Structure 1
Amino acid sequence: MVGKDGGKKKPLKAAKKDAKEYDEDDIAFQNKQKEEAKALKAMADKAKSGGPLGGSGIKKSGKK
């Protein structure tokens, strides 16, 4: 039996969020988080490229 409301249901629209007001402490905290994220990404890129933090790891020689 197939009804009129078969198929996918459309999701309800979410209410629009009000714009938040930030004070100086909030802005400073957000800037600090952005700087930490940049530093973390730079360290990860440096580790991938084989710099002093990471790199080739332990290599096996061809000897038996």
Structure 2
Amino acid sequence: MSGREGGKKKLLKQPKKQAKEMDEEDKAFEQKQKAEQKKLEELKAKAAGKGSLATGGIKKSGKK
């Protein structure tokens, strides 16, 4: 019983993934995603300055 035989056998080299060709639709979609991400970041920055928005919930008292 040698220790090298047990367990999963690893492949020495993984096949490389093919570089995906991007057409015009993919480029437009990617730009749209980046624009939406920028808007979200700006909104997060604005909201962080105002404080928490979810403070109007039910408050529990210490009584049982």
Higher relative CO (Cα under 8 Å, sequence separation at least 6) belongs to 1
Q: What is aligned with 1:28?
A: 28
Superposition TM-score, scaled by structure 2 size: 0.59
Structure 2 alignment gaps of length 5 or more: 56-64
Aligned pairs, number: 52
Structure 1 alignment gaps of length 5 or more: 59-64
Superposition TM-score, scaled by structure 1 size: 0.59
> Alignment RMSD, CA only?
2.5
Q: What is aligned with 1:44?
A: 44
Q: Which runs of 4+ in 1 moved over 6 A?
A: none
